[in-house]
Structure 1
């Protein structure tokens, strides 16, 4: 049995201020090695020397005998980037980075959001464009209907014996529906009266406005002044008319035609 040895350590503490230095001897028992020095050195000499490159930085919990062998990353058949790992049924699936699904999912979500925003923007632009086009087309149609009403009113009150056939033809060309039929039936009588009375009437528009109108139909009121000369009034006399015109747009030519004309007020 190894012999326990006692060693004595002497600790000298500095003197306190104002007093002489004091020396105190403290005896401590040092633990003896598990065996003799010769025995420890011998045991170390008998253990095999381990290659430092083969030491893995792993901590094994449990019985080492129950730990399965880990695959060598450098050995044949090891799982590498782009390789496949066998699943439960033996089917291989491409090895994936742990962050790949989350990153690809975010990219798909962002792409989907951009598609939705783009579709919404295009839909909004389409609706706005359609409304703008409809409003612009309607306004243009209303202005064209009002211009046609002004011209038809002037044509109707501007008739001369010297150009009666041309004047009546101009009125007929701008008419449609019931108004055209009625005027055509009485056109011969009107011509005779204009020629016999040597009528010369010239009109001008004072005011004109739409009562209602869209791209197909419109109702207009036109105020017209005219100077009428005939055999009874060779110097002419002024006349004032208020005319209501119902107009429709011809589908083929797009021209506005008078479907109904009547004096009002």
Structure 2
């Protein structure tokens, strides 16, 4: 072989560069698009993480709200002592009941006391009124006995008998006319005056009253008035028809 033959260029088999057709199809996606997809996936994952972070934040806010609610003080006017038990409250309740019972007893005592005082005052007033009536009746009877005039003898004797009863009235039975005649004939003029009086004994039915009286008397035998002093024990009876004098005694 000559040198010309050695210099002839050799032809190589024609072959396209790169991988097989199938591999080329699989990798037809450009590198830039693949990077974009990966970035999108990373962005989605980032958003997912953000959402989760937001959920965590919401849960944290819920926990904070519950914590705030737990720290809100009770609306009661007095602080609540959680250490107190039902056994601790029982003595307090009993104390309140006892205090209330004591207050009720005190009120009842005051009411009863006021009622008793009113009744006592009423009874005292009743007794005073009764004693005053006994005294007034006895004084009037003595005044009637010591005041007699010839000109008004009949009226004077009737006035004496108007309050007489019992033994005192019996003493005048059958003696009214003779007594009146003596007063007229002697021209008696007597004027009585009650000086003092006081109750000896008294109850609802009768009383004994001492009455001191003074009398100025004149008659035909003694034209000049003469003073006389008397003391009477008068028994006054209390009946449905009123008070009357049932007995009169001279005691000096």
Q: CA deviation at 1:178?
A: 2.2
CA distance in 2, matches of 1:246, 1:189: 26
CA distance in 2, matches of 1:151, 1:233: 27
Tell me which residue corresponds to 1:33.
none
CA distance in 1, matches of 2:132, 2:248: 19
Tell me which residue corresponds to 1:112.
101
Tell me which residue corresponds to 2:230.
241
Larger mean CA deviation between 177-186 and 197-206 belongs to: 177-186
Q: CA deviation at 1:119?
A: 1.8
Picking from 117, 141, 164, the partner of 1:152 is 141
Q: CA deviation at 1:215?
A: 4.4
C-alpha spacing 1:104/1:258, structure 2 compared with 1 (3 Å): same
Point out where structure 1 has 5 or more consecutive residues left out of the alignment: 1-50, 54-96
The structure with the largest alpha-carbon Rg is 2
Q: CA deviation at 1:139?
A: 2.1
Q: How does 1:43-54 map to 2 (within 5 A)?
A: none
Q: CA deviation at 1:167?
A: 0.6
CA distance in 1, matches of 2:192, 2:106: 60
1:193 and 2:182 aligned: yes
CA distance in 2, matches of 1:249, 1:212: 13
Asked if structure 2 preserves the Cα contact closer than 8 Å seen for 1:220 and 1:246, the reply is yes
Tell me which residue corresponds to 1:259.
246
Q: CA deviation at 1:207?
A: 2.3
**TM-score when normalising by structure 1:** 0.55
Q: CA deviation at 1:180?
A: 1.9
1:212 and 2:201 aligned: yes
Asked if structure 2 preserves the Cα contact closer than 8 Å seen for 1:204 and 1:224, the reply is yes
CA distance in 2, matches of 1:248, 1:104: 64
Q: Which has the higher contact order (CA 8 A, sep 6+)?
A: 2
Q: CA deviation at 1:155?
A: 0.6
Tell me which residue corresponds to 2:164.
175
Q: String of CA shifts for 1:97-120, please: whole Å, max 9, x gaps.
A: 958877765554444333222222
Structure 2 SS opposite 1:223: strand
Tell me which residue corresponds to 1:135.
124
Q: String of CA shifts for 1:56-103, please: whole Å, max 9, x gaps.
A: xxxxxxxxxxxxxxxxxxxxxxxxxxxxxxxxxxxxxxxxx9588777
CA distance in 2, matches of 1:186, 1:104: 87
Point out where structure 2 has 5 or more consecutive residues left out of the alignment: 1-58, 63-84
C-alpha spacing 1:104/1:144, structure 2 compared with 1 (3 Å): same
CA distance in 2, matches of 1:193, 1:249: 33
Picking from 218, 221, 240, the partner of 2:210 is 221
- Aligned residue pair count: 170
RMSD (Å), alpha carbons: 2.8
Q: How does 1:21-170 map to 2 (within 5 A)?
A: 98=86, 107-170=96-159
Q: CA deviation at 1:261?
A: 0.3
**TM-score when normalising by structure 2:** 0.58
Q: String of CA shifts for 1:200-230, please: whole Å, max 9, x gaps.
A: 1111122222222244422112222212222
Structure 1 SS opposite 2:223: coil
